[in-house]
Structure 1
Amino acid sequence: MHVRQAANVLELLEYFARRQRPATLAEISDDLGWPRSSTHNLVGTLVDAGFLYEPQVRRAYYPTRRWLLLAQDVADGEPLPESLHELAVAIARATGETTAIGAAAGTHASLLDVVESTHAVRFFARVGDRIPIHASSLGRALLVQATPAERKALYRKLGFERYSDTTPLSPDAVELALREADARGYHQSDSEFLPDLAGVSLPLPFPARRLAVVVAGPVSRCLSRRAEIAQAMREAIAGFEASAS
């Protein structure tokens, strides 16, 4: 389901994040390809609600700090501990590859924290990016934490879209991948969703929340190193557990 009005609000916020300066109605309309009337209505609504203001009267608009304060209140309600970010940093440093922490979001895995590799050629990811839960090592490291009944219910919602020749296309294929990962000791992927991307994932031992960590990078650099990367991840997680106990 795609609600256009909600998507426009998010697109506008991302627009200002990129622009980093006020914009007139005409600039917003032209840059985003929106009709002038729709732009006027959306901006007017956000101004009335206190989310946009005019730094220079009747010339241009910019977001107020209300967005930041609301986001902070939301984050405070269920924060991701700083120690998990430190874990992601440690894994990225040990492996040299982009590292992310994710959680299930319906039929996808959503990235909650990202530490990018310093390599010029790397996995580019942002907090909030979503990955199909069946077509990624991160997704399966989350799926394995669900009960068989929960997974069965989720499979009924999945379209099992094919993204490449290596994408699992059925519940049986995903369940087989979970069993293979259990025997191997880690979850892995090879271009299942994004071309030329290899990933390694492990569930995270975090009470009351189902989280997982993924390390991903180009196939040319990571495919043959997956066992090595998994070992570095396990060592970092063991250190995390020891410091938390």
Structure 2
Amino acid sequence: MKDKDPEYLTTLERGLTVLRSFNKSQPEMQLSEVAAATNLSPAVARRCLNTLVALGYVTRSGKKFLLTPEVLVFGSAFLASASIDSVIGEHLQRVRDETGDSSSISVLSGEDILYLAHIPTNRHIRLNAGVGTRFPAHATSMGKVMLAHLPGDKLDDYLHRAELKRFTDLTVTSPDTLRKQLVEIREKGYCSVLSELDYGLVSIAVPVYDDNGNVLAAINCSTAASRIAQDELVRTRMPLLKQASQQIQHSLNKWPVLLHSLLRL
């Protein structure tokens, strides 16, 4: 589609690709590393980096490039304009208050889930999450719920391109096994995951729909497996999550800006 659109700016795409190449595992990189991470030539990567430095979104220390706090303006503008706290936060907060578990909402972004809101638990867990956090979809309850509702061609595309990385001995890394699991998840209407992203982490997630039955996002409860057994988590948390999902769906109809943003993802 983009190749046929005369209005599509390849230069802008390259600049955004460079920005997105910086992450937790690569917070600072040399030019050669940026070029490798983005599949851009060193000359193109250098021009993108120099432009981003001039605009204030990237800085450099010696031969290393790194993001500046100025990039936060993009995320904060979306959060402010979409009123996520007003539309979603109160429902997640209610789930957290009734269960003591952390509660989150995320959307599918490429091969990852992307957190839009997160209400943390007071208990310590090894994997911290927040707005903007990304985790591989195949190892999370929210990710699997959303993957389970993808149209067949999009699921095929995901399984073809995704790296099903192993995080624990229980992480599902076989495309065939994952596909079978997703069929079961779609039939059940929820997903519970134990020790797939990290040992001792248990979670349950349900989808968030729009009025036409499209899955917009997923919400979850997550806690330590030492605190509650997986079957007990499912029994006690699923009714609360389904209620919160319905409330969020109803609230989204009152906030067309956020609803439209989720529909475009």
TM-score with structure 1 length normalisation? 0.68
SS in 1 for 2:233: helix
**1:18-45 CA-partner distances (Å, limit 9, x unpaired):** xxxxxxxxxxxxxx899xxxxxxxxx97
Task: Give the alignment partner of residue 134 of structure 2, picking from 121, 130, 135.
Answer: 130
* 1:226 aligned partner: 233
Match of 1:166 among 159, 165, 170: 170
- Does the residue aligned with 1:142 lie in a helix, a strand or coil? helix
* 2-structure distance, mates of 1:205, 1:96: 25
Read off the aligned partner of 1:229 and give its amino acid letter: R
Aligned-pair identity in percent equals 20
Displacement of 1:243 in angstroms is 6.2
Give the corresponding residue for 2:154: 150
- Whole-angstrom distance in 2 between the partners of 1:176 and 1:136: 16
Query: Relative to structure 1, is the Cα distance of residues 45 and 87 closer, same or farther in structure 2, using a 3 angstrom cutoff?
Result: same
Alignment of 1:184-195 (within 5 A): 184-195=188-199
Q: How far does residue 240 in structure 1 lie from its aligned partner after superposition?
A: 4.2
1:244 CA drift (Å)? 6.5
Determine if the alignment matches structure 1 residue 111 to structure 2 residue 115. Answer: yes
Structure 1 portions without partners, runs of 5+ = 16-31, 35-43, 53-62
- 2 CA distance for matches of 1:84 and 1:110? 15
Amino acid of the residue matched to residue 151 of structure 1? L
RMSD of equivalent CA atoms: 3.9
Runs of 4+ in 1 over 6 A off after TM superposition: 7-11, 44-47
Tell me, in whole angstroms, the C-alpha distance in 2 between the residues paired with 1:73 and 1:96: 30
Q: Size of the alignment, in residue pairs?
A: 211
In structure 2, the residue matched to 1:27 is: none
Q: TM-score, normalised on structure 2?
A: 0.64
Q: 1:74 Cα shift?
A: 4.2
C-alpha distance in 1 between matches for 2:105 and 2:183: 22
| Bigger radius of gyration among the two | 1
**Residue 205 (structure 1) shift:** 1.9
Three-state SS of the structure 1 residue aligned to 2:139 is coil
CA distance in 1, matches of 2:243, 2:101: 16
